[in-house]
């Protein structure tokens, strides 16, 4: 009788961590008879998204360090200590065959507890610049799955395998047509369309740039799908009031159609977003968030811009340069086609399956 495996997956905080984690879990379920348990951070979006996808999850009270208000970190340390104890108990009770970490506050305590218990671990490092927690965990990790070259700077070379970052399967649906996708947003099928996305909370710089200059885009004949995130309130709707060919929404539920509708995408430079843009071969303008550890989004974006696969605009310059750059790229078909070829060349497909190949090797199911 075949063994039923137990797989522990930890990570979250943002969609960029949660969606790859769910992709890996779904690939495991397709290939193995396995019980899968997630560990997330309390009060973060994984506590909602993971159960909605059909998987159980346990929450840890862990939180990130406050680099600006250092006095607050006493509470953070207390939460970390409690999270370590809870993670140890979860590992002891669940008895996983492997623990997989995809990043986020909760990955550190969970994988550390697994390693102390002798459970083999796999790290999925999504960014081109590794975070402190993964660098520490890597010393005892059995495998480190990465999305960029030259990661030997951070990890033991013998543990690294390049798999790319998993993306949501629904984004690559074959039935998506640009014209129909635009019509699904109430836009004209044939008109050029720009998509601006800043994550579920929104990106202040992107939003303020559009708030000031969205009329210049519509005056240039460009349709706009603008995802503001929930923190921008109704300011986007007010800025676009009366403008034809604009869709302003706090959240886009059908990202597959949004991407299909777009000739150009403006985005932050999180690893997950970049992997989606690569798979879909979308010309893009990347505005890295300045509010991330080690400025890793700038390093992610530069890995594309250095290869002619994206335009990089620093956050501090976006208010003045973003809309001009968007209009210029939207009006330059030759530049878009070249960028499309260059970004497509960077794509790694079936990353979830490649990662599960490594999981199977580690747990001995192959």
- pLDDT score at 68: 64
Residue 60: helix, strand or coil by DSSP?
Answer: strand
What pLDDT shows up at residue 67? 61
Q: Do 218 and 241 touch, CB atoms closer than 8 A? A: no
pLDDT digit string, tens, across residues 173-207: 767 899 999 999 999 999 999 999 986 655 888 99
Angle between helix 333-344 and 271-280 (nearest 10): 110
**Residue at token pair 């190949």:** 357
Q: Which residues make Cβ contacts (< 8 Å) with residue 24, sequence separation at least 6?
A: 9, 100, 102, 124, 166, 352, 355, 356
Gap between the Cα atoms of 164 and 351, Å rounded: 5
All residue ranges of the chain with pLDDT < 50 are 366
CA–CA dist 210, 327 (Å, integer): 12
Q: In sequence order, which residues have a C-beta less than 8 Å from that of residue 114 and are 6 or more positions away?
A: 8, 91, 96, 99, 121
DSSP 169-219: GGGG-TT--HHHHHHHTT--SSS-EEEEE--SS--HHHHHHHHHHHHHHHH
The pLDDT assigned to 31 comes to 94
Q: Is 12 left (phi over 0), alpha (psi -120 to 50) or beta?
A: left
Residues 6+ apart with CB under 8 A from 164: 147, 275, 347, 348, 349, 351, 354
Query: Do 105 and 13 contact (CB within 8 A), yes or no?
Result: yes
Which of the 8 DSSP states describes residue 66? -
Instruction: Count the alpha carbons within 13 Å of 74 in the hemisphere toward its beta carbon.
Output: 1
- Greatest Cα pair distance, the chain, in angstroms, is 67
Distance (Å, whole) CA 366 – CA 360: 6
CA separation for the pair 277, 316 (Å, rounded): 23
Cβ–Cβ contacts within 10 Å for residue 45, how many? 17
Question: Which pLDDT score, from 0 to 100, does residue 30 have?
Answer: 94
Give the SS3 label for residue 5. Answer: strand
Residues 6+ apart with CB under 8 A from 161: 143, 144, 145, 146, 354, 358
CA distances from 212 to 194, 217, 237 (A): 16, 11, 12
Domains in the chain, CATH or no CATH each: 5-165+349-363 (3.40.50.2000), 170-344 (3.40.50.2000)
What's the Cα-to-Cα distance from 215 to each of 187, 197, 238, rounded to whole Å? 16, 18, 12
What is the Cα–Cα distance from 328 to 234, expressed in whole angstroms?
Answer: 28
């Amino acid at each position: 009788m075949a063994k039923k495996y137990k797989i522990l997956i930890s990570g979250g905080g943002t969609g960029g961590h949660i969606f790859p984690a769910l992709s890996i879990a779904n690939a495991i379920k397709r290939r193995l008879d396995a019980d899968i348990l997630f560990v997330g951070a309390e009060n973060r979006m994984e506590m909602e998204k993971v159960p909605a996808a059909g998987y159980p999850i346990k929450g840890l009270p862990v939180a990130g360090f406050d680099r600006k208000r250092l006095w607050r970190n006493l509470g953070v340390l207390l939460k970390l200590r409690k999270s370590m104890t809870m993670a140890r108990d979860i590992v002891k009770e669940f008895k996983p065959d492997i623990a997989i970490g995809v990043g986020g506050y909760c990955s550190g305590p969970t994988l550390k507890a697994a390693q102390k218990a002798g459970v083999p671990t796999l790290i999925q490092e999504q960014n081109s610049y590794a975070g402190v927690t993964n660098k520490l965990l890597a010393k005892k990790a059995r495998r480190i799955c990465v999305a960029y070259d030259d990661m030997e700077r951070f990890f033991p070379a013998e543990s690294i395998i390049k798999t790319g970052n998993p993306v949501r399967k629904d984004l690559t649906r074959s039935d998506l047509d640009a014209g129909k996708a635009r019509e699904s947003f109430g836009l004209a099928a044939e008109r050029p369309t720009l998509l601006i996305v800043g994550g579920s909370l929104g990106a202040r710089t992107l939003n303020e740039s559009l708030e000031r200059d969205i009329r210049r885009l519509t005056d240039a004949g460009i349709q706009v799908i603008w995802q503001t995130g929930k923190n921008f309130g109704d300011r986007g709707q007010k800025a676009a009031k009366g403008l034809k060919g604009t869709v302003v929404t706090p959240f886009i539920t059908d990202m597959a159609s949004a991407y299909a509708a777009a000739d150009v995408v403006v985005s932050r430079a999180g690893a997950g977003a970049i992997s989606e843009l690569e798979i879909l071969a979308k010309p893009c303008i990347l505005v890295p968030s300045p509010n991330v550890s080690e400025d890793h989004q700038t390093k992610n974006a530069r890995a594309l811009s250095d290869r002619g696969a994206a335009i990089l605009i620093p956050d501090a310059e976006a208010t003045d340069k973003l809309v001009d750059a968007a209009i210029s790229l939207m009006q330059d078909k030759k530049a878009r086609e070249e960028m499309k070829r260059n970004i497509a060349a960077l794509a790694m497909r079936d990353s979830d399956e490649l990662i599960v190949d490594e999981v199977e090797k580690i747990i001995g199911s192959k």
